[in-house]
Amino acid sequence: MTTFNLPDLGEGLTEATLLSWLVAEGETIVVDQPIAEVETAKSAIEVPSPYAGVVTTLHGAVGETMIVDEPLITVGAEDEAGSSAGSRSPGSSSSGSEPGALSYREEERAGTVPATGAVTDPETAGADAGQEEGSGNVLIGYGTSASKNGRRRRRRNGTSRPGTTGGAAAPAAASSAQSAESSTSGAAFSTSGAASSTISSAQKAPRVSSPLVRRLAREHGLPLAELTGTGTDGMILRADVLAAIDSPVQTAPSPASQAGAASGSASGSASAPATGSAAAPISSSASTAGTPAPGGLEVRERVPMSGMRKAVATTLTRSRREIPEATVWQDVDMTEVLALRSRLKEQSQKDGTTAPSLLALLSRFVLAGLSRYPDLATRLEDTAAGTQEIVHYDGVNLGFAAQTPAGLVVPVIRHAERLSARGLHGEISRLVGEAREGKISGKELTGGTFTVNNYGVFGSDGATPIINHPEVGILGIGRILDRAWVVNGELAVRKVATLTIAFDHRVCDGGTAGGFLNFVATCLEDPSSALADL
């Protein structure tokens, strides 16, 4: 068996919160298959496995803080899973890789391993095991040393790792006497040979043709173990998952879930699933659930802040504490720029290109404004001598706020001043897609020198945005409304939005911020003339 440690996540990050397990103990996995979703201070990402084989141990519970270079998952050959499950202790692991122990890099087997768990050519498998960096995984640290004894994993309130005391459900039931003993002590694994056989059969992983099928089932809350595959050798196909989604009839519980329920009943307490693809908010512990709160209310639950929320809180708190920001705003007639975008969309349909979005056009005008008012794209830094310097750069790394299921993130377009409006649109689309899928890298979330925030998509007319420290300026735009507007001395109905800029008053004054805001507003109101100078 081989233990895979949580890899280096880059950007100097040393820990991550386990959001969900994407595999279960006893499940057969392939190389590069996502095994867990973790959240760092930068983003939520899926961790792929560099090994193929049968999952024997999941080292952590949902909601737990995992430390880089400590065990994440243990994988063994299929014939090892049943024989070792009954004899191993919850914390045991093997850091070495034995020849023939794993089916390594067998993507052509479409998500399965041979029934015997044997490798056709042990020497070839052993050689492949030393080439982990060739798997296409983007995370750093595969093949790192075993976990260090001096480092401890911090655990969230109300959670416990699988296989430890605290109410974690046993993966399978053994004899009645052993079940009672296990429920009393909280042990997660039986020590009898009969229990090993039960675990092996109860946790036998379903055969699935691709990770896409797993993702589809996971998104609709369908346990793969409860589905019947119609493919070769019972392989679960996409059509099987779609049929289960459309079917109103619920499938019977799997043997593993029945065993877990029996164990939880014997112990007299609710059993927390050891694994799962989704988790409800972590409830407070029994000692705090009924604690009186001010006003006579009782605490219903306590939800720990995620790594991403903590990072956002730290940045915004520091911004409010250190930056003496000022805010100015201006109403802008957006009628002409909306008409321009409509013409670009019509033209793109004819020539097969992509029309830039309104945010891309706004970003292009913002970049033009920053070239005229460069102080707004600087940073204020302390020197070793105890003085402060305003740092100017040879370009603009433009950040833009994007809402994702995990929260608000600010992807950064590097050297955005080099891109056209269409080029900016392409980068915005790419980064937003990666951020919402939880696949954006930490590097693409740092290094910004100015930020644009389109809070109009939430139906907000205006706002006072907080500067993204250590930047010195942020521009926001509200929703576009029909308003009465004077055009050439006559009253008309126009498309109007409010532009707002918050700036660091230590770096520049209101004249700079106001001049920049007026320039961007003029570009939006008369984009044809503005584009001639860009």
Report the pLDDT averaged over residues 328-349: 96
Report the pLDDT averaged over residues 429-439: 91
Task: Indicate whether 303 belongs to any domain.
Answer: no
How would residue 278 be classed by pLDDT, with cut points 50, 70 and 90?
A: very low
How would residue 219 be classed by pLDDT, with cut points 50, 70 and 90?
A: confident
CB 477 within 8 A of CB 501: no
Task: Indicate whether 124 belongs to any domain.
Answer: yes
pLDDT at 197: 43
Lowest mean pLDDT among 291-300, 337-346, 506-515: 291-300
pLDDT at 8: 79
pTM listed for this prediction: 0.53
pLDDT over 70 percentage in the chain: 65
pLDDT at 80: 57
Taking the C-alpha atoms of residue 180 and residue 174, their distance in angstroms, rounded to an integer, is 9
How would residue 338 be classed by pLDDT, with cut points 50, 70 and 90?
A: very high
505 is catalytic: yes
pLDDT at 248: 54
Number of domains in the chain: 2
Q: Is the pLDDT of residue 428 over 60?
A: yes
* Among candidate residues 200, 218, 198, the one with its CA nearest the CA of residue 208: 218
What are the tens digits of pLDDT across the range 448-477?
999 999 999 999 999 999 999 999 999 999
Residues 337 and 193 in one domain: no
Q: Is the pLDDT of residue 120 over 60?
A: no
Task: Indicate whether 260 belongs to any domain.
Answer: no
Q: Which two tokens stand for residue 106?
A: 């067998």
Residue that finishes a domain, picked among 154, 179, 206:
206
Task: Indicate whether 245 belongs to any domain.
Answer: no
pLDDT at 206: 58
Query: Mean pLDDT, the chain, as a whole number?
Result: 74
Going by the DSSP 8-state scheme, the letter that residue 273 receives in this structure is P
425 is catalytic: no
Domain at 120, CATH number: 2.40.50.100
pLDDT over 90 percentage in the chain: 40
- The one catalytic residue in 415, 505, 526, 533 is 505
Task: Indicate whether 232 belongs to any domain.
Answer: no
Q: At what angle do helices 255-267 and 193-202 cross, to 10 degrees?
A: 130
Q: Indicate the residue type of 35.
A: I
* Among candidate residues 179, 174, 471, the one with its CA nearest the CA of residue 322: 471
pLDDT at 147: 41
Residues 198 and 326 in one domain: no
Selection from 111-120, 434-443, 488-497 with the highest mean pLDDT: 488-497
Residues 197 and 331 in one domain: no
More confident residue, 309 or 340: 340
Residues 334 and 194 in one domain: no
What are the tens digits of pLDDT across the range 306-335?
877 888 888 899 999 999 999 999 999 999
Report the pLDDT averaged over residues 496-513: 97
Selection from 13-17, 214-218, 297-301, 389-393 with the highest mean pLDDT: 389-393
Q: Is the pLDDT of residue 218 over 90?
A: no
379 forms beta bridges with: 391
How would residue 531 be classed by pLDDT, with cut points 50, 70 and 90?
A: confident
Residues 329 and 455 in one domain: yes
pLDDT at 293: 66
Residues 197 and 323 in one domain: no
Q: Is the pLDDT of residue 164 over 50?
A: no
More confident residue, 83 or 361: 361
What are the tens digits of pLDDT across the range 27-74?
999 988 999 988 876 677 888 998 899 999 999 888 888 888 889 999
More confident residue, 163 or 303: 303
Residues 328 and 196 in one domain: no
Task: Indicate whether 226 belongs to any domain.
Answer: no
Q: Is the pLDDT of residue 183 over 90?
A: no
Q: Is the pLDDT of residue 265 over 80?
A: no
The alpha-helical segments, DSSP class H, found in 73-209 are: 78-85, 122-128, 176-185, 193-202
Domain at 513, CATH number: 3.30.559.10
**Cα distances (angstroms) measured from residue 519 to each of 220, 360, 365:** 49, 17, 8
- The one catalytic residue in 121, 461, 509, 526 is 509
Task: Indicate whether 371 belongs to any domain.
Answer: yes
Residue 126: give the domain boundaries: 2-169+188-206
**Cα distances (angstroms) measured from residue 531 to each of 220, 351, 359, 368, 495:** 47, 21, 16, 10, 20
C-alpha 2, offset from chain centre: 26
DSSP string over 214-239:
HHHHHHTT--GGG----SGGG-B-HH
How would residue 78 be classed by pLDDT, with cut points 50, 70 and 90?
A: low
Task: Indicate whether 295 belongs to any domain.
Answer: no
Q: Which two tokens stand for residue 474?
A: 């942020």
